[in-house]
Structure 1
Amino acid sequence: MLREAFEYLTTPCPPLARRYGYLAEAVALGARHRRQRRAWAPHVDACRRFVQEAAERSPPGGRALVAGSGLLIEVPLPLLAERFGEVVLVDMVHTHSARLQARRHANVRLLTLDVTGALGPLDTALSDGSQLPPPSPPDLPGERFAFALSCNLLSQLPLLPLDAIDRKAPDTPEAERERFARSLAHSHRSWLASVAEQATLFTDTESLWMEDGVIQEREDSLWGFDLPHPDRIWDWDIAPAPEEDHRRSLRHRVGAWLNLAIPTGT
């Protein structure tokens, strides 16, 4: 607890990101990884192998973008830094451990950014009671990226904004909440393909609640947003019992796409 408190108090973070829980989420994720390092190891290995495979399909040199770089648990940063001329790590919060890793590579830089472009307008809308805003992903400076990676981000984009909607506008109709969530996912996929020649993505697609090795409950993680069949699939034991539930374990099914910039069917 002392480590988490220190991280929360000392990690640089924009005020809006702090108020909406992004810093607390980053600190909690790091703590969970330390507790569940062994259970997470197959997932982390699968992520890093997949990112290596995807990056090797992109010509060396040029620029690479990692959206949702987070704590860099799943990202083989040395490999990307060696392959590309510049690597830009984009997230709402860059923890001390991520900053330390980035400083080891002269061609890696950090960019603190809301990739949806929706958080500021949402904060205004929730303050004045106006409609939920559409996403407006940011333009990124510099030449187009050769390679862009969305790192376990697609399913997570709506979570903290929806928490804020539940707190500040609890009468928002469920259909409107779901449309807002899907719009963030749809916009993120389109944005990723627009900023890079190769748009690589991995994300959890289902949440599976397990007991004694049997699926008791399953939930869609993508808010009804459709994607083509993934190029790779694996499971992530994110919260073995009793991490979140005394009896049940939480497993995420992860899908990974080598290049979503290529039109479906080609």
Structure 2
Amino acid sequence: MLREAFEYLTTPCPPLARRFGYLSEMVALGARHRRQRRTWAPHVAACHRFIDQAMQRVEPGGRALVAGSGLLIEIPLETLTARFDEVVLADVLHSRTVRRRAAALPNVRLVEMDVSGALAPLAAALDTGGRLPTDFEPPIPDGGPFRFAVSCNLLSQLPLLPLEAVERRAPATTEAERTAFALRMVHGHLCWLSAIAERAALFTDIDASWMHGGTVTEVEDSTWGLALPAPDMSWLWDIAPAPEQDRRQDLRHSVGGWFDVRTVTSVLPPC
């Protein structure tokens, strides 16, 4: 607990990220990874394999973007820096550990950004009592086009903390409004990815299974109703064995990876 408290108090954090709980979430994720490092190892290895195979599909050199770089748990950073001239790590905040790793690699640049583009308009709507925004765009980092981009276990997570803020600040918001807002976030992220780089890849959890004694008791969809095509790679992630999140049940995620996001957006409504 002392380590987590120190990280929370000393991590540089933009006001919006702190307001929506991203700092607390990052600290908690790091603590969970330390507790479950061995259990997570197959998932982490699969993420590294996926990114390695995805980036082999583009010519070396140029610029690469990692969207949702987080704590770099799932990112083979040194492999990326060896293949591309510049690697941009984009996330709403960066821990001190990530900053130290990036500082040791001359072709890594950190960018603090809301990759959904939704947080500022949502904050304004919650402050004024307005309707949830549905007209927003993710920003594009400075520096020109990217040869390669990868979204790292981000798609399913994008609406979670914003919707928690809606529940706290605007509980009367209808389910239809919440769903439309969430779908705008995830669909907009896919469109942004497909436009921001010559080739963009994506991996994300597809569903979450609660298990007791090896038997699945409940399955929850994680794609917000989007009908995604079959992934190019898939694997299981035992994210929270009991009693990590539930005293009696294990939580397992199914993860899918697509080497080209355009194969995903081609079956969805137009961007």
Q: What is residue 235 of structure 2 aligned with on the other side?
A: 234
Measured against aligned partners, the alpha-carbon deviations of 1:212-261 in whole angstroms (never above 9, x if no partner) come to 11110000011101222110110000000000111100000000000113
Q: What is residue 11 of structure 1 aligned with on the other side?
A: 11
Q: What is residue 147 of structure 1 aligned with on the other side?
A: 148
1:79 is the counterpart of 2:79:
yes
Indicate the percent of aligned positions where both proteins have the same amino acid: 61
Q: How far apart are the structure 1 equivalents of 2:159 and 2:226? A: 12
Cα offset, 1:137, TM superposition = 1.0
Q: What is residue 49 of structure 2 aligned with on the other side?
A: 49
Cα offset, 1:14, TM superposition = 0.3
Measured against aligned partners, the alpha-carbon deviations of 1:193-217 in whole angstroms (never above 9, x if no partner) come to 1100111000001000011111100
Q: What is residue 219 of structure 1 aligned with on the other side?
A: 220
Measured against aligned partners, the alpha-carbon deviations of 1:5-31 in whole angstroms (never above 9, x if no partner) come to 000000000011111100000000000
Does structure 2 conserve the Cα–Cα contact (< 8 Å) formed by 1:197 and 1:261?
no
Is the partner of 2:157 in helix, strand or coil? coil
Q: How far apart are the structure 2 equivalents of 1:93 and 1:240? A: 28
Cα offset, 1:101, TM superposition = 1.3
Correspondences of 1:29-108 after superposition (within 5 Å): 29-108=29-108
Q: How far apart are the structure 1 equivalents of 2:72 and 2:262? A: 24
The list of structure 1 runs, each at least 4 consecutive aligned residues, that deviate by more than 3 angstroms after superposition, is 262-265
Cα offset, 1:264, TM superposition = 4.1
Q: What is residue 138 of structure 1 aligned with on the other side?
A: 139
Measured against aligned partners, the alpha-carbon deviations of 1:165-209 in whole angstroms (never above 9, x if no partner) come to 000000001111111111100000000111001110000010000
Does structure 1 conserve the Cα–Cα contact (< 8 Å) formed by 2:125 and 2:132?
yes
Q: How far apart are the structure 1 equivalents of 2:230 and 2:254? A: 13
Cα offset, 1:139, TM superposition = 2.5
Cα offset, 1:62, TM superposition = 0.4
Deviates more, 1:138-147 or 1:109-118: 138-147
Q: How far apart are the structure 1 equivalents of 2:89 and 2:228? A: 24
Deviates more, 1:100-109 or 1:25-34: 100-109
Q: How far apart are the structure 2 equivalents of 1:24 and 1:88? A: 23
Q: How far apart are the structure 1 equivalents of 2:170 and 2:26? A: 25
Q: How far apart are the structure 1 equivalents of 2:31 and 2:71? A: 11
Amino acid at match of 1:189: L
Does structure 1 conserve the Cα–Cα contact (< 8 Å) formed by 2:206 and 2:253?
yes
Q: What is residue 118 of structure 1 aligned with on the other side?
A: 118
Is the partner of 1:142 in helix, strand or coil? coil
Measured against aligned partners, the alpha-carbon deviations of 1:88-138 in whole angstroms (never above 9, x if no partner) come to 000011011111111121000100000111101100101111111123111
Correspondences of 1:255-266 after superposition (within 5 Å): 255-262=256-263, 264=266
Question: Unaligned stretches of 5+ in structure 2?
Answer: none
Does structure 2 conserve the Cα–Cα contact (< 8 Å) formed by 1:228 and 1:264?
no
Q: TM-score, with normalisation over the residues of structure 2?
A: 0.96
Q: What is residue 171 of structure 1 aligned with on the other side?
A: 172
Q: How far apart are the structure 2 equivalents of 1:261 and 1:8? A: 38
Question: Unaligned stretches of 5+ in structure 1?
Answer: none
Q: How far apart are the structure 1 equivalents of 2:100 and 2:181? A: 35
Is the partner of 1:155 in helix, strand or coil? helix
Q: How far apart are the structure 2 equivalents of 1:179 and 1:41? A: 35
Q: How far apart are the structure 2 equivalents of 1:223 and 1:261? A: 19
Q: How many residues align?
A: 265
Q: TM-score, with normalisation over the residues of structure 1?
A: 0.98
Q: How far apart are the structure 2 equivalents of 1:96 and 1:140? A: 21
Q: What is residue 24 of structure 2 aligned with on the other side?
A: 24
Is the partner of 2:257 in helix, strand or coil? strand
